[in-house]
Structure 1
Amino acid sequence: MGLFGALNTSVAGLRAQSYALENISGNIANSQTTAFKRIDTSFLDLIPETGNNNQLAGSVATSSRATNTVQGDVQKAAVATYMAISGDGFFVVQKPGSFTDNNPIFNGVDNYTRRGDFTLDKNGYLVNGAGYYLEGLPIDPTTGNVTGSNPQVLKFGGDFLPAQPTTTVTYRANLAAYPLTTKHDKSVPGSELINVGDFTTNPSTVGTPPLPYLDNAASGTPVNSALTTPTRINGSTALSGAANTNSLAAGFAIGDTITVNGLTITFTDASTALPPGVNDATNIPIDSTVDQLLDKIDGLSGNAALSSTVTAGAVSLHTGLTSNLTVSSSNVTAFAALGFSGPVAVNRLGGGTAGAGVVIGSDAATFISQSIAGGATTGYDISGSPVSIQFRWAKMDSSTLGPGHTDKWNMFYQVNPNATGTATAWQNIGTDFTFSANGQLTPAVASVVLTTPNINGITLGDVTVNFGVSGLTSFADANGNAQVNEIRQDGFPAGSLQTVAIGDNGRVVGSYSNGRNIDLAQITLATFNGANFLKRIDGGAFEVTDQSGAAIFGKSGSITGSALEGSNSDIADEFTKLIVTQQAYSANTKVITTANTMAQDLLNVLR
């Protein structure tokens, strides 16, 4: 090759370093370009065919070396539709071939990119900063399953999400073993139960026989006696007496009466002055005690147990089993000194009629006072109209009543909050829930079905209330109410699409005006066996080549929402390569200068 071969080799060296410089300049220029993949330069020596003893270093050629598989830094972004790929893979995109009436017309040719700065345009397409339109697989909003297997350009319109009627209510709660209703009195077994005798129509499940009659009680407020030192009345407190004595603060007088279930007790002269026979069932001496008066009342009411008592200054009047109890007095002031501000009326527990399974309007207030709230949720009919589904629980039986009794509850839902007369206010769901001593539902009730409930004039389809395996319990609770741990339903009204966002699972999530978040599409990532052999095109996109192989779906990295991948071009590295390239270029020029000088010397030999 000789002198002129050296000149040619130096020129090739200049071309090679210029090529490297061009790649370096492009890498530096795109150091802030989203998901840019730098181009490195490969140098290839070109060796001429010579003998073993005459081998030459040869010339040089250059080629580009892609870094498509080298990850750039992933940084969080404030835009919900931005996304970044961690690991292998490319977004599948298309670029419109033309536009008609500002609507893109696609040519069906897929491109691939890692540039994830997608935003929603006016037509509902997700378009990145380079103008490429995102592809993916649509999702059925009803089932949540992907539809199809071939990626397509995604478009999200302003169509309404159809209303979904309520079909299922998931319910979890603990019912206090002893509910604190307005009727409860722990000294009276069964007082925490619904007293069906107080109802015109028995709200128990249809066909349930009434409980046997049970004793009930009405307690007065605690009151003090006439003693100067505040002292609660007791059984020995006199019904009439002087100041600062253990007598009622306001005593009864001769001729006063107390009426018990229509029968009258009359206050007569002191017992020492009474003629024979005056102190009988309907007369009581004025100097008698509270206990003696309570015995008279028990006798007239038929309460053979004579169980009315005074505890901590409070008089408790029991019905017994024979009849309900009404007590009043002609001396209102003295009656108030016993702790009763007005006439007493209390029904026996149990009794009533057979179960009808409903609470009628005239019984609604009584039902509310003898049951506990069970929570509420908003349901929807087929058109999306909302309706408040309210539940209440009533304890119907108690194991404390002895053999043959068990802790039994009924669940009700409200039908009409404004019901009056015989109109249905609450509906019994028709299932008895019985609990064992350890608070577990026995037998288990996994679910119940409300058959086409009509609530406040709105008819729903069949609604299944799911309790799960152990969703209902009846443990002790000092608050005495129903502790609802979960209550949710599956219906929703119609709604329009408001915003879209990208989830970390690679799904496009739509937020609707009805508060629902629905998966709309699954973003599809493509990988290649020869990813570094893809052809680069404008905007950080790539085309398939024979060397890259066809796109492969299903094995790729993960997608991070609200994030962007940065350029993998490092300024410091590029500056270092820039220095080396500049020095190599200068060295090649020195070779040319030297070869030129040698050529001049050769020409001078001929002169």
Structure 2
Amino acid sequence: MGVFSALTTAVSGMTAQSYALENISGNIANSRTTGYKRVDTTFADLVPDAALNRQIAGSVAAFSQATNSIQGDLNATRIDTNVAINGDGFFVVDQRASGVGANTQFANQNLYTRRGDFDFDANGYLVNGAGYYLKGLKIDQVTGQLVGTQPEVLRITKEQFPAKATTSIEYRANIPAYPKTNNADSTVPGSELLSPAAFPASNPLSTTQGGTGIVVGSEVTNFLSRSIPGGSVTVYDQLGRATSVELRWAKTTNASAGPPATTDTWNLFVAENTGATGTAVAYRNANVSVTFGSTGQMTNPASGDIPIPTMTIGGTTITGINLTTGGNGLTQNGDVSGQIDARSIRQDGYTAGTLDRVSVSAEGQVIGTFSNGQVVALAQLSVARFNADNSLKRLDGGAFEETIESGPPIIGLGTSQLVGGSVEQSNTDIADEFSKMIVTQQAYSANTKVITTAQEMLSAVFNIIR
């Protein structure tokens, strides 16, 4: 060991500090790169084999140290398809191999990234700023179940969301014990009831009460004066065509009148053609005797469902629709107004719609909002976690590749959450990098000083023989 060894050690020090400076410069250059993970530098001493009392400090080697497990700040972008991971994990992505448009072929390999600045391209693929395509699992829009088990490149097109025919009308209302119809007179018992004697052309009572269950056009005015409005709702057929369903209620018997009446009974009517004349059908009875007990709770039908009769309204045929009350949604209590208090009238059908916007939920579901008001989960993003995040192989564009040291991916969010409309910033701290740069520069200069000193010592040796 001697002066020449000192020169070699100093050179290794300069090389190591140059390596550190290279990592620092890369970190600073990517301080604004979305999802970038800085690369730190670690140093290891290299000690030559020697006797215990002759060991020396030795030279140095520099190595990279990944910071993949250190999260950067989350920044809101207000772009719905941008998404950041709050916690552990990586988005599963792929690269384009060949082709364009709908014929794009992918490399069919799983890569991983924290860069979540995804946005739609012209073909409906979600691609980030580095050109990586997002992968996940499609969701069946009918069953809501995941399709397949292996992540695939997601493609979400703006195809029409199919129409759904109305099958159920959720009805929540209170019917007054004494309906204040136009014909009702508190001094005349029974004047508030729908009496078949008042309808010579037809008997509008339900078929369960011996009536025909219809109101003809010539008796519309009389019917309206002996019934009260129950609200209206827009329903849809299988093609998504909309039509308005108008409901009216008429009381047919009072329990207080005594036998044979033992309960308060009502009939539900649906308007088929309010402009009907003569013998044409204007209103149809649902043909169900709706009864209420002394506490105002509905006692019939026991299921709480009232089938709406099949009919054609304004050229649109409606069929297979139930008025659903849930058993306790329809009550008969005292009401000074004498009118129906319809608290909620909602139906489950809708017209066809097109995709308006896409967002990402905290659970990683891609949520589509359609022009018909439907909000549907379209896909589930695949998020991979690793036992050794910092052992992933770094690739261009903020992507990583699985290695033996990192272990296989564990698909699932775990305790992490996704934040839609945001991206993760670089985890580089500019102030810290500049501090490390100063230390690195000083260490490099110190090594050059060692070389200068060794050179002076060699010169002194050469001067001995002069």
1:6 Cα shift?
Answer: 1.7
Q: Which of 584, 598, 603 matches 2:443?
A: 584
* Compared CA separation, residues 451 and 135, structure 1 to 2 (3 A): farther
Work out the number of aligned pairs and report it: 462
Answering whether residue 270 of structure 2 is matched by residue 413 of structure 1, we say: yes
SS at match of 1:474: strand
CA distance in 2, matches of 1:102, 1:39: 38
Q: Which of 397, 400, 409 matches 1:539?
A: 397
CA distance in 2, matches of 1:171, 1:74: 45
1:192 Cα shift?
Answer: 2.6
CA distance in 1, matches of 2:396, 2:337: 69
Q: Deviations over 1:421-457 (max 9, x none)?
A: 2222222212222222322222544223335443333
- Please, what TM-score do these two structures have when normalized by structure 1? 0.72
Q: Which of 519, 524, 528 matches 2:377?
A: 519
* Residues 417 and 456 in structure 1, CA contact (< 8 A), matched pair in contact too: no
* Residues 3 and 454 in structure 2, CA contact (< 8 A), matched pair in contact too: yes
- For 1:96-175, list aligned pairs within 5 A: 96-100=96-100, 103-175=103-175
* Compared CA separation, residues 166 and 517, structure 1 to 2 (3 A): same
- For 1:320-399, list aligned pairs within 5 A: 354-399=210-255
CA distance in 2, matches of 1:461, 1:56: 94
- For 1:477-516, list aligned pairs within 5 A: 477-516=335-374
Q: Deviations over 1:222-256 (max 9, x none)?
A: xxxxxxxxxxxxxxxxxxxxxxxxxxxxxxxxxxx
CA distance in 2, matches of 1:41, 1:560: 31
SS at match of 2:333: coil
The aligned amino acid for 2:433 is: E
Q: Which of 426, 430, 441 matches 1:567?
A: 426
The match for 1:73 is 73
* Compared CA separation, residues 588 and 120, structure 1 to 2 (3 A): same
1:66 Cα shift?
Answer: 1.0
Show structure 1 runs of 5+ residues with no match: 209-353
- Please, what TM-score do these two structures have when normalized by structure 2? 0.93
CA distance in 2, matches of 1:176, 1:540: 68
- For 1:158-557, list aligned pairs within 5 A: 158-200=158-200, 201-208=202-209, 354-402=210-258, 404-443=261-300, 444-450=302-308, 452-556=310-414, 557=416
CA distance in 2, matches of 1:477, 1:586: 93
1:525 Cα shift?
Answer: 0.9
* Compared CA separation, residues 393 and 75, structure 1 to 2 (3 A): farther
* Compared CA separation, residues 480 and 585, structure 1 to 2 (3 A): farther
* Residues 81 and 360 in structure 2, CA contact (< 8 A), matched pair in contact too: yes
CA distance in 1, matches of 2:342, 2:150: 46
Question: Which entry has the higher C-alpha Rg, 1 or 2?
Answer: 1
* Residues 253 and 263 in structure 2, CA contact (< 8 A), matched pair in contact too: yes
SS at match of 1:494: coil
SS at match of 1:604: helix
* Residues 207 and 356 in structure 1, CA contact (< 8 A), matched pair in contact too: no
* Compared CA separation, residues 513 and 371, structure 1 to 2 (3 A): same
SS at match of 1:144: coil
Q: Percent identity?
A: 50
SS at match of 1:9: helix
1:194 Cα shift?
Answer: 2.2
CA distance in 1, matches of 2:399, 2:160: 34
CA distance in 2, matches of 1:145, 1:487: 29
* Compared CA separation, residues 589 and 102, structure 1 to 2 (3 A): farther
SS at match of 1:421: coil
CA distance in 1, matches of 2:281, 2:176: 27
The match for 1:27 is 27
The match for 1:55 is 55
Q: Deviations over 1:196-229 (max 9, x none)?
A: 3322322221141xxxxxxxxxxxxxxxxxxxxx
* Compared CA separation, residues 101 and 203, structure 1 to 2 (3 A): closer
* Compared CA separation, residues 48 and 380, structure 1 to 2 (3 A): same
CA distance in 1, matches of 2:6, 2:101: 62
1:84 Cα shift?
Answer: 0.9
Q: Deviations over 1:154-177 (max 9, x none)?
A: 112233222221122222222223
* Residues 298 and 327 in structure 2, CA contact (< 8 A), matched pair in contact too: no
Show structure 2 runs of 5+ residues with no match: none
Q: CA RMSD in A?
A: 2.0
Q: Deviations over 1:398-424 (max 9, x none)?
A: 233345442222222222222222222
